[in-house]
Amino acid sequence: MSTLLRKAYSAASFEQQGYQLISLLAQHLKKSTDHSAMNWIAPEKQMEFWKNDFSSGLLSDPVTLFKEIADRSINVRNPKYMGHQVACPLPLTILSSAFISCLNQSLPIYEMGMVGTALEKIVTDHIKTKFGFGNQSSGIITSGGSLGNLTAILAAKAQFKEKDHPDLVILVSREAHYSIERAAKIAGLPASGLIQLPVNEKFQLQTELLTEVYRDLTLKGKKVLCIVGCACSTSLGVYDDLEAIGSWAREHNIWFHVDGAHGGAAIFSPDYKDLLKGAEQADSIILDFHKLLMAPSLSTALIYRDGKNAKKTFAQEADYLFDNHDKNDWCESGKSTFECTKPMHILNTYMILRTYGDEIYRENIDTLYNLARKFYFMIENDDKFEAALEPMSNIVCFRYKNGNNLNVINHTISKEILLDGSYYIVNTTINGEFWLRVSIQNPFTNESHFKGLLGKIKEIGGKLQEII
């Protein structure tokens, strides 16, 4: 064997670099509160740096590069990070992630991921019980919510005969995540196959329109493939009235899918789980562990009310992978997922549940949702700001309201905040207008961070008022 291969696989240097890396990561965790949420680097400058790095010869100490990467990346652990819906992963999961890579199991084939396959079953069973699904239900894990939504929509489509396919439509609120539209396209629906329904003043799907819309569609010979409920929507964090959608879907024998990628996590909070009332009527529901449940990217639970539906989409012969005796179905998870190689990411969630139990989820949800309410009231009590609506989750949309051209002012504020880097927030468009948006992801974010953010916005807004 070559010296290079021996050196690269050396357990001794792994151990030495491992200690160095753990110490570096511990520093990163400790310092995450001190620094700015991000050090903005323009794309061209970032690219130039990495081009130079790539051509600068081989590394003698790989750990130095990890530090460089951390310094050049957004810090999702900083309490002033309030941007996209990415978890601040628990330190325990940094360790389990390394462990997952070391074992490199591949789940869809049982013997390639024996433990992971069992853990997926246990965790999805736990989630289905939380939602109140019965014995017939079962779940799988997909790599992300987008893939979870697609898998559920394909399962809904598998209920129809091929001759019906050209006439299928999906009903959804216009606030739904874009992965639903993509899933509709991938499922072979034409653009007119996605019916984006209007929302009420609380930005929830207008359920009172359903019967009329359905009647019109039926007259045109269309068939509803499924109706999707948002729990919650991405942009505004609003939960649809799942109870009303669910009963309507049951009455019309229509597949009801709940996109709980973000807000399905509220099921762990006695204070907030009522937002999900009606989800128990769903035919399928997804829930991301890597958004509000403190796991690193990427794993999503997809639960089917009737577990038999899980297999219909991908039913095919794959003799070299699956033994076609259906006796122990759960151990052939590859029959229910699009993925072939799938990492054992479920271990991150299993470790959280085994170490801290459901209680840590409850605390996280309560903390984040309560913080959003606190931020909302601070906005409401400041005459320089307005909120788009009272938050239902950890997402708050608001804007600086002093000045004549609010779209331009808020757009410029958003850019300035990004360049400044102390805080990281994002933005959205509501009814054609530009709004600032926070998603509070870190339970260590507090009132002083909110004050600091609002102060910074006022400072920028004040200057802009004079020139815009």
Ligand X SMILES: Cc1ncc(COP(=O)(O)O)c(C=O)c1O
Of residues 136 and 429, the one with the C-beta less far from ligand X: 429
Question: Least distance (Å) from ligand X to the CB of residue 193?
Answer: 19
In sequence order, which residues have a C-beta less than 8 Å from that of residue 368 and are 6 or more positions away?
A: 292, 394, 440, 441, 443
Helix (H) or strand (E) holding 284: strand 284-288
Contacts with ligand X, residue ranges (CB under 6 A): 85, 144-146, 149, 177, 179, 234, 259, 261-262, 288, 300
Of residues 109 and 397, the one with the C-beta less far from ligand X: 397
The span from the CA of 117 to the CA of 123, in Å, is 10
Question: Least distance (Å) from ligand X to the CB of residue 358?
Answer: 21
Residue nearest ligand X (C-beta atom):
145
Q: How many CA atoms lie within 13 A of 457 on its CB side?
A: 28
Question: Least distance (Å) from ligand X to the CB of residue 299?
Answer: 9
The span from the CA of 373 to the CA of 45, in Å, is 39
| Amino acid identity for residue 206 in this structure | Q
The span from the CA of 206 to the CA of 162, in Å, is 31
The span from the CA of 169 to the CA of 302, in Å, is 22
Question: Least distance (Å) from ligand X to the CB of residue 416?
Answer: 25
The span from the CA of 443 to the CA of 406, in Å, is 31
Of residues 262 and 437, the one with the C-beta less far from ligand X: 262
Of residues 177 and 335, the one with the C-beta less far from ligand X: 177
Question: Least distance (Å) from ligand X to the CB of residue 363?
Answer: 22
Question: Least distance (Å) from ligand X to the CB of residue 167?
Answer: 26
User: Helix axis angle, 91-103 relative to 346-356, nearest 10°?
Assistant: 140
Of residues 259 and 280, the one with the C-beta less far from ligand X: 259
Of residues 224 and 295, the one with the C-beta less far from ligand X: 295
Rounded to 5°, the CA angle 262-233-290 comes to 15
